[in-house]
A and B are shown apart, each in its own frame.
Chain A
Amino acid sequence: MITEDIMNIVVVGHVDHGKSTVIGHLLADTDSLPKGKLDAIRESCKRNAKPFEYAFLLDALKNEQSQGITIDTCRCFFKTDKRRYIIIDAPGHIEFLKNMVTGASRAEAALMVIDASHGVEENTRRHGYYLSMLGIKQVAVLVNKMDLIDYDQEKFDKISKEYTDFLAEIGIQPRIFVPVSARVGDNIAFHSDVMPWYNDMTVLQVLDSFENIQPSHQLPFRMPVQGVYKFTAGGDMRRIIAGTVDSGSLSVGDEVVFYPSGKRTRVKSFEAFNAPAPTEIQCEDAAGFTMEEEIYVRRGEIACKAGEHAPQVAVRFRANLFWLGNAPLKGGRIYHFKCGTQKLPMKLLHVDRVINASNLDCADRQWVEKNEVAVCTFQLDSPAAFDTTDRLASTARFVIVDGYEQAGGGILVEALPDEAYDQRNIRTAAGAVDAQERRALTGHKGLVVWLTGLSGAGKSTIATAVERRLLALHIPAFTLDGDVLRNGLCADLGFSDEDRTENQRRAAETAVLFQRAGLVALVSTISPQQAHRDFARSCAGEDFMEVYVKADLNTCRSRDPKGLYEKQAGGGITAFTGVDSGYEVPRSPDLVLDTMADSEAYCIDALLDAILQKRS
């Protein structure tokens, strides 16, 4: 096995400043084109009576050739004696800034191309700012089209000075400024005779002078949990915490702390397929480990190492961000925060300032427009774990989802206290028994277990069996069955959207009363909407488990324990969940009980286990 370095680099700059030509020349000069490709394009140019340009090499897409601008991020490969490069051509047009971000975020180093005859333009500065936001530290600037300014050193120096000053303000120190003419090939792969005043590196030499980013083994261990796997096929009983290591390292026997929950255990083993199991995992490994105690953790938590610097856990924070959404970022709207593998509802609390990316002026207004950068304060629904950018880069990055789209990216600067939230979670009332006191006195901790799934999935069967098992362990428990509630507490409600919401609200509030009294409330209700389940969670706080009892429609229909599917088919029921009314599969349930794959007894055991873990 040969070892070979690879580096991702991005070429950015304003539209028409010559990015594609630079890349075309790099590919041709390093002999990296497939045989015949260059000739084919020369031939096609001749056929269409167009002068040949190196940029055409990249214009693989037909519509791109017709528009004449790079609209997306295109990847090419080339090789020097030192290493292999994946070169990303990012579009320069401001309309395609999101594509530039996509390209640049994958890069370890950037080449910024400036047209010498135009000098530093608005987008040149904006791209510089974005590179700094994206965390790209290695930047070289190519002052292109030197042939158009007669290879004038003075003009070159002037552009270099102006752009160096700008970059200094946003924390980027460019490696070098190279005068080039990409059309002719001056100083791309070979030194040029026409600029004897320039004796420094060619573009190719500059690239080889960049360093591959070293994995951060010495930093605190961070592994966002991608999933907790227990695939029982073939009798596999391992429960594996899977994720990719963002920083640091972890060994067998080390104590792990999961944030935001704060749960702890030790690493029992690392797991691998078709390879010996490692005894240590480190930065960039796609890993998996089993735990000494089977504690309940889920996707979204960050696995950290006990004794190392812990991440922040907060509901409010300040961040630097760039906004790519068509609709402005503004208050009063629910966004989603994605950081590591966490995804949480989020609101904009305050725009601290909007920065003009091209001249660094600040504007004072409470919204952020497309392509702007800003400093903002946000509020999350529930606590998230993250690092601030002064500590760790990777776990300090987040994206903002607006509707279905990733509309912005940010860097976490500061975790902020939230008095209102903190107070809500410290339940003190003079004279009244608080939750902790009650638990100490009764020895019982209440819990809401919200079982959701299609009719016939097995919710009630599992709930009643688990209730019996809990009671046998002297743990007070009570099943709140959806049908029973419908016939009693909610007898006044029908099946309109409004009534369904009210039905769910009552079920949630009732369950929370049981929970506060110290019982395990097992709620068995179809609960087709995520919003209703989220509401229940927001009432119960941390003492809540969303359990998805999973069985597909065909399975449920064939079981049909209450004869409802048959009745529906006969026209006796309308708006029946799963048939002619939608069911929203839980986005991140605390537990999935797959009653198609697993036996009833297994599901009951799994739920009981999860409840006992949660209560402990």
Chain B
Amino acid sequence: MAHKQMDYLDKLEAKSIYILREAYASFDKLCMLWSIGKDSTVLLWLARKAFFGHVPFPLVHVDTHYKIPEMIEYRDRLAKEYGLYMIYGQNTRALADKQTFPDGNVSRLQCCKNLKTEALQHTLSGDWPRYRLNLQTGLYEEDEDHTAYTGVIVGARADEEGSRSKERYFSPRDKNNDWNVDDQPPEFWNQFKTDFAPGTHLRIHPLLDWTELNVWEYIERENIPTVSLYYDQGNGTRYRSLGCWPCTNPIPSTSKNVHDIIEELRSGALAGVAERSGRAQDQEDGGGLETLRRDGYM
């Protein structure tokens, strides 16, 4: 019998599904971070592939309150359509105290720490309220489950930034969410670290081997719905990477659809430009995400 040849997207997909299934088997308290961006949306799609149309764990979104409104609309639309266990968490205190960059009281980096890192840490541990989408009413209600997540699936890719290229597929974080880059567990032969001490948790990275181009190629192949902000709406700009509106700038581009973006990345204007070049906080961190990532940033 003739065997079909797997192409590189098939291989990436298969590897990611394997990792997702291992994560699901290994962690009783598992969740997936969904930033609404293209990477974690591909991750969500891969979960539906791995579990045959189902997503058997909660999706967690850290809502900084400064996300572009389209992102929230898109999030809730997909959550309802896919029947997701959709959770969001927020640093309501920092927002109330105006400890944010747009309020003019803290630096960009500190703002990231307050609204993303801290909110994430406390949402994962369950000591701050988690808001769950009621699929019947379409409204968010405080989730009764306050258990800490011990496995957190994240859409980080090795090609994004230097620090991410050092990640394991299953990467331990200690009680304070710290990542000990210098002493990571060995990982080989598709066997991952799935045992962990109480109080610690693991980050799971199924997209580690994907590139930005792969992500767009896969979106095209699978016809995955994405936020319209990624596409030029006629004014000659679009977002390449999505974040909070005060710190994310659109790039000049006339790509109007997925196909245009793939061309642009392969051979066009973006072929050699770093993806996060539109993210202002990276520059403030001395050119790397390392400081933020050590503290638990995704």
Contacts and interface: CB of A to CB of B under 8 A. Distances in A.
A210 B37 CA distance: 37
A432 interface: no
Contacts of A430: none
B3 A217 contact: yes
The prevalent SS among residues of A at the interface is: mixed
A552 B146 CA distance: 11
A33 interface: yes
Given A62-B288, A72-B184, A405-B195, A274 B163 contact: no
Contacts of A102: 168, 184, 186-188
Contacts of A403: 195
Interface of B: 1, 3-9, 11, 13-15, 17-18, 21-22, 24-25, 28, 45, 48-54, 56, 83, 144-145, 147, 158-159, 161-163, 165-166, 168, 181-182, 184-189, 191, 193, 195-197, 208-209, 211, 217, 221-222, 272-274, 286-288, 290
Interface string A478-499: 0000000000000000000000
B222 A274 contact: yes
A194 B165 CA distance: 36
B14 A286 contact: yes
Which 10 pairs between the two chains have the least Cβ-Cβ distance? A60-B162, A105-B188, A98-B186, A286-B17, A35-B272, A231-B54, A286-B14, A226-B21, A404-B195, A399-B191
A98 B185 contact: yes
Given A273-B49, A399-B189, A554-B144, A72 B181 contact: yes
Contact of B186 (A33, A99, A231): A99
Nearest to B266: A2
9 contacts: A4-B7, A61-B290, A62-B286, A98-B186, A102-B188, A134-B188, A236-B52, A242-B50, A286-B15
A249 interface: yes
Interface stretch (A74-82, A149-157, A568-576): A74-82
Most buried by A among B197, B272, B288: B272
A234 interface: yes
A233 interface: yes
B181 A61 contact: yes
A563 interface: no
Given A61-B288, A399-B189, A229 B51 contact: yes
A75 B18 contact: no
Contact of A6 (B8, B53, B288): B8
Interface string A399-438: 1010111100100000000000000000000000000000
Contacts of B28: 585
B13 A229 contact: no
Given A227-B25, A229-B52, A286-B18, A404 B181 contact: no
A280 B273 CA distance: 42
Interface in A235-285: 236, 238, 240, 242-244, 249, 251, 271-274, 280, 282, 284-285
B290 A226 contact: no
A40 interface: yes
A490 to B, nearest CB: 29
A282 B5 CA distance: 10
Contact of B188 (A1, A84, A101, A236): A101
A336 B187 CA distance: 16
Contact of B181 (A63, A231, A282): A63
A65 B71 CA distance: 38
Contact of A406 (B145, B187, B217, B221): B187
B181 A554 contact: no
A62 B145 CA distance: 39
A4 B8 contact: yes
Given A238-B52, A280-B1, A552 B147 contact: yes
B21 to A, nearest CB: 4
Given A1-B7, A1-B9, A229-B52, 19 more contacts: A1-B217, A3-B8, A61-B163, A62-B288, A74-B166, A75-B209, A77-B211, A226-B25, A227-B24, A236-B54, A244-B14, A244-B18, A244-B21, A286-B49, A324-B186, A338-B191, A341-B22, A399-B189, A406-B193
A316 interface: no
B52 A405 contact: no
Given A3-B7, A86-B209, A554-B145, A409 B188 contact: yes
B166 A72 contact: yes
A34 B273 contact: yes
Nearest to B158: A75
A505 to B, nearest CB: 26
Interface in A279-307: 280, 282, 284-286, 288, 299
A75 B165 contact: yes
Contacts of B144: 554
B121 to A, nearest CB: 21
